[in-house]
Amino acid sequence: MSSCRPVTSTATELASRHSAWVHVLQAAAALAAGMGVGRFVFTPIVPLMHTQARLSPGAGAHLATANYVGYLVGALAGILAPSLVRSPAFLRASLVALVGSLAAMPATHSTVLWMALRLLAGVASALVFVIAVSSLLSHLREHRAHLSGWAFGGVGAGIALSGLLVLAVRSFADWRAAWWASAVLAAFFSVVAWNLRPEGAPERSAATAVPDPAGGLVRRARTGRWFTALFTSYTLEGVGYIVAGTFLVAAIEQGSPGWIGSGAWVVVGLAALPSSALWAWLGRRWSRPGLLCAALVIQAVGIALPALFDGVAAALISAVLFGATFIGISTLALATGAHLRFPRSDALLTAGYSVGQIAGPLLVAPLLEHGYRQALLLASGVVLAAAVSAAVLRSGFPHRIVVAEHGTGGGRAGTAQPVAGPEGRAG
């Protein structure tokens, strides 16, 4: 009988790993559809709309803003109605709405209708993102962090594949075909993500606490000071990152051959694909606040490069640095919020991030009359400010979070179980 135990244990472990990787694949597909295609395919398509659909630069900015506003609405919905985040039906409805909004773009030449469709796409993207992230943080909590990192890589896969798709389509078709092709790609990812299990119902018996210097327990409310610094940093990142995400290709094309701008966007996606897994792996050796600060500094350098130097080398290095950090920063920030056990941290952080994305283009709009260099330099400065806030987060950060079960007598906590050690893994 005892000889069977190792075999049974091994079979159970293999089944658990298989289930975890299936979950990663489904979540990655959801993020590829919602963010990589639904959100970011607008960047390589908008130049085609400028030349072929007579979309003015101002109208293009309005379409981008409508998408950012929709993203905020979706993030707020995740905060105000947390039951939506736990609904498989709502995930599927969001995926269908996203694909429909992409497919409908060629059906009109009305800027108002385009804005409405991009608004809908923003709402759907945010909901898919929040549901997928909540699912990852809930179901893969006991697994190694690199699994969630590979799931976040779905955003990079979506960016790279949609960028390549648009580059291929534009050689023999127009902007309408580019939108239809992106809708087909989003539909493919949606089919893969269709059976993703959302976050489970919250456990009522657990209360979060952290050890204080005297060896006692500090209640969850006290983690708010660190969450405030994290929220500030991530919101500022939303401001700086979206300026680069919106104008990086155009800025590169000002000082480099035309193909470099479009090619750089594909490079951004390719660099983003393994980035979250890499940052998660680093998180096993160094603290997340320190890594978050480092990633923000690296991104600030990447954003500033095209503003300081012309040429292919600067453009490609910028694309690699930006792609290697912007999803990794999201991974680190959301994982840190979950580590702090702050209620609805993923939705709150996403909301702050989306507010920053709305503010970013408005902040740099007066500078665009003189080109994109000043806008990128300002964005780089904002990201550096986010790094400063992340540095503040490091001060006294509670690297070890425990869950204390409520007892039935006197309301005292029972046996405390460690949830995450200094390396960010289960400890």
DSSP 81: -
pTM of the model: 0.78
CB contact burial 248-258 (16+ within 10 A = b; e otherwise): bbbbbbebbee
Domain boundaries, the chain: 1-202, 204-427
CA 44/CA 169 separation, integer angstroms: 11
Sign of torsion, CA 400 81 76 35?
positive
Per-residue pLDDT tens for 326-381? 988 988 898 888 878 777 777 788 888 889 988 888 888 788 777 788 989 999 99
Matching CATH topology for 1-202 and 204-427?
yes
**Residue 111 CB contacts under 8 Å (≥ 6 apart), including other chains:** 55, 59, 62, 63
Q: 């493919």: which residue's tokens? A: 188
What integer pLDDT is reported at residue 256 of this predicted model? 66
Q: Which two tokens stand for residue 277?
A: 């897994």
Provide CATH code, domain 204-427. Answer: 1.20.1250.20
Least confident of 7-11, 135-139, 301-305, 307-311: 7-11
Residues pairing with 418 in the sheet: 402
Per-residue pLDDT tens for 183-225? 999 999 999 999 998 866 555 544 444 444 444 444 444 667 7
Q: Say if residue 284 is exposed, middle or buried (CB neighbours under 10 Å; 0-12, 13-18, 19+).
A: middle
Amino acid at 293: C
Across 127-235, where does the E strand assignment appear?
206-211, 217-219
CA 331/CA 314 separation, integer angstroms: 26
Provide CATH code, domain 1-202. Answer: 1.20.1250.20
Name the maximum alpha-carbon separation found in the chain.
78
DSSP annotation string for 10-69: HHHHHHHHHHHHHHHHHHHHHHIIIIIITTTTHHHHHHHHHHHS---HHHHHHHHHHHHH
Per-residue pLDDT tens for 76-96? 887 788 788 888 999 999 999
